[in-house]
Amino acid sequence: MEVLYAHCAGLDVHKDTVVACVRHAADGTIKHQVRTFKTTTRDLLALSEWLAAEGCTHVAMEATGIYWRPVWQILSDGDVELVLANAAHVKNVPGRKTDVNDATWLADLMAHGLIRGSFVPDQQTQEMRGLLRTRKQLVRERSRHVQRLQKTLEDANIKLDSVISDIMGLSGRRMIEALIAGESDPARLAQLAHRRIKAPPEALCEALRGRVTRHHRFLLRLHLQQIDAIDNAIGDIDREVDAQVEPFRITVELLSTIPGVDELSACVILAEIGRDMSRFPTAGHLISWAGLCPRNDESAGKRRSTRMRKGAAWLKTTLVQCATAAARKKAGYLQAQFHRLRARRGAKKAIGAVAASILTAAYEMLKSGALYEDLGSDHFGKRGKSRHINRLVHRLQELGYAVQITPLPTAA
């Protein structure tokens, strides 16, 4: 097999140590040198100096949790070209697994150009990505505390969520705070409801009639404090994102023109895929990287599964949320695509297809700088007019009608 890089290295990165293997190929002979370094800053600088002294041009390492990031940041200051490998793509032959063998295996793969580098964004994009991922985690944790608070209310036989859609809204919060303060009269609690609450006062009184003990009040207070603390943390992140998004402001506004994509979703998409689309040869490569396309699972000429492949989980969840919102936007191409596919493949696969369309549009917009142009809800009808006519005629014939097609006269 042809050797592409005569002087390269492979790094097996762990929490406390880095095993480095330098591979030299010259005059038909191959030499390996292996050294172990600690992951302290001083030792990582020594690793960088050693790789430079050995004349390494390319260095490969696996994406092992968070531990590869400090190594990458220090080595990126040198003259070597770094390649981040997906651990699932560079698995070694089973047996005799050691740190030295892993580093040697990475060096051998790197020498022959068999490692496909993963996408590593620039520092500014990484910081934006870290903020928005933390925000999503906090939103999920807030939802868990709301569910625990709701569980406590159910334990006290308070059926508040049966009459109010959002128990953490204005009316629900007033009632919960009154319960914590010791109020137990259902009529007085029902008077705290906002005038826009659709539930009648009698239903509110019955829902608020329960057995609230001191234990329940303690848990309600605890969960409410946690929810408030998380809300404050989310607010801090939003302000920090707003301060850092200025260099991306035009791009965010551009992506926000896609139906279903608001400003926050545009920031998430931008933080996950970056602004430079040259790293993805086509939109299909980006869709595959995001995990929004069917995976290849074929054996003996039979396709065993068409489920979506695993990909960028943080990006995929945001795109699915955007697709769900776009499917509700009337008189648009994405809604027409959703309804067209839902009739044949089901709602879940239709949402996945709409999410892929949103990502395709984002790719083309970031690549060319063009604005979003909606093809319209009649796009599929124009594209397959004859097929649409035949389908409607066939449907009417199934219902017992004889159909004769007569084109309308064209206007002069």
User: For 384-411, what is the HEC assignment?
Assistant: CHHHHHHHHHHHHHHCCCCCCCCCCCCC
Share of residues in the chain with pLDDT > 70 (%): 95
pLDDT at 300 over 80: no
**Nearest by Cα to 226 from 137, 146, 152:** 146
Q: If you average pLDDT over every residue of the chain, what do you get?
A: 88
What's the rounded mean pLDDT across residues 170-175? 91
What would you report as the CA-atom Rg of the chain, rounded to the nearest whole angstrom? Answer: 29
Cα 56 to Cα 349: distance, rounded to the nearest angstrom: 47
pLDDT at 411 over 70: no
**Residue 410 confidence (pLDDT):** 65
**Residue 140 confidence (pLDDT):** 95
Strands (E), 108-210: none
How remote is the C-alpha of 192 from its chain's centroid? 39
pLDDT at 1 over 70: no
**Nearest by Cα to 376 from 333, 327, 344, 319:** 333
Cα 76 to Cα 68: distance, rounded to the nearest angstrom: 12
Residue 25 exposed, middle or buried by CB count within 10 Å (0-12, 13-18, 19+): middle
Q: Letter for the amino acid at 122? A: D
**Nearest by Cα to 293 from 304, 302, 305:** 305
58-62, strands of its sheet edge to edge: 29-38, 17-26, 7-13, 58-62, 81-85
Q: Report whether 289 contacts 271 (CB < 8 A).
A: no
**Residue 195 confidence (pLDDT):** 85
pLDDT at 386 over 80: no
Which residue intervals of 7-63 are DSSP H helices? 41-53
**Residue 16 confidence (pLDDT):** 92
Position 412 confidence tier, pLDDT thresholds 50, 70, 90: very low
Q: Give the contacts of 291 (CB within 8 A, at least 6 positions apart).
A: 308, 309, 310, 311, 312, 313, 316
| Separation of first and last alpha carbons in the chain | 71
**Residue 77 confidence (pLDDT):** 86
* Of 29-38, 281-290, 373-382, the least confident: 373-382
Using the 8-state DSSP alphabet, how is residue 13 labeled? E
**Residue 298 confidence (pLDDT):** 65
Which residue intervals of 54-183 are DSSP H helices? 68-75, 99-111, 123-155, 170-181
**Residue 268 confidence (pLDDT):** 93
Higher pLDDT, 294 or 142: 142
pLDDT at 237 over 70: yes
Q: Strand, helix or coil at 26?
A: strand
**Residue 93 confidence (pLDDT):** 62
Q: Strand, helix or coil at 134?
A: helix
**Residue 121 confidence (pLDDT):** 83
Q: Report whether 262 contacts 249 (CB < 8 A).
A: no
* Ranges 214-218, 247-251, 373-377, most confident: 214-218
Residue 176: φ, ψ to 5°: -65, -40
Position 95 confidence tier, pLDDT thresholds 50, 70, 90: low
Using the 8-state DSSP alphabet, how is residue 311 labeled? -
What's the rounded mean pLDDT across residues 281-302? 80
pLDDT at 226 over 80: yes
Q: Tens digits of per-residue pLDDT, 320-336? A: 999 999 999 888 889 98
**Residue 157 confidence (pLDDT):** 92
* Ranges 60-74, 137-151, 181-195, 304-318, most confident: 137-151
Cα 70 to Cα 48: distance, rounded to the nearest angstrom: 12
What's the rounded mean pLDDT across residues 135-139? 95
What's the rounded mean pLDDT across residues 93-122? 84
